Amino acid sequence: DTLIGTRINRTIGRPLLRSDHQLQTARMEHTKARILHVDDHQDTRLMMAALLQDRGYGVLTAGSVTEALDLVGNINFDLYILDIRLPDGTGVELCQKLREKHPGVPIIYYSAYGDAAEVESALARCGDAYLKKPVCIADIEDLVARLLKTGARKYPLPQAQ
């Protein structure tokens, strides 16, 4: 038996079945880069995964902060794409947790939400770029390729209080 992410079958209290993390990682080894896309809308996850997989990237998806952190605990990703509003937290909070664990991995926010002030605030706290839905496919491709080449921006370490 293998696990499906972190979703628990509430009726019987055990993990659902899916390919395990080792199998997922093995499939992603022969790709341009390993990408984690976190979005609470399944159709958006499927679209982004298909788009990036067609271009040679290995993509796994998660629908929540909890699922994302579980995957990050088992797989080394080269890039993260995060929605801002998630069912169990925010993309900015997730970004900060990911930055602590993997400071050199670039992070893109991809969301329909956010005026100019919110975008600026999110990027000031964490993250490397912000794409506001809807966005042109070429813009996604270009940004992913550029960030994989240049890496994450350097942030000062938080000061101990």
Task: Examine the pLDDT at 116 and tell me if it is beyond 50.
Answer: yes
Model-level pTM?
A: 0.80
20-66 pLDDT, tens per residue? 455 555 666 778 999 999 999 999 999 999 999 999 999 999 999 99
- Residue 55 is predicted with a pLDDT of 93
Task: Examine the pLDDT at 113 and tell me if it is beyond 80.
Answer: yes
Distances (CA, A) of 96 to 9, 69, 126: 29, 12, 6
Counting other chains too, the contacts that 116-125 makes at CB distance below 8 Å and 24 or more residues apart are: 118/84, 122/84, 122/91, 122/92, 122/95, 125/92, 125/95, 125/96
73-84 pLDDT, tens per residue? 989 999 999 999
Phi, psi of 145, rounded to the nearest 5 degrees = -65, -45
SS3 41: coil
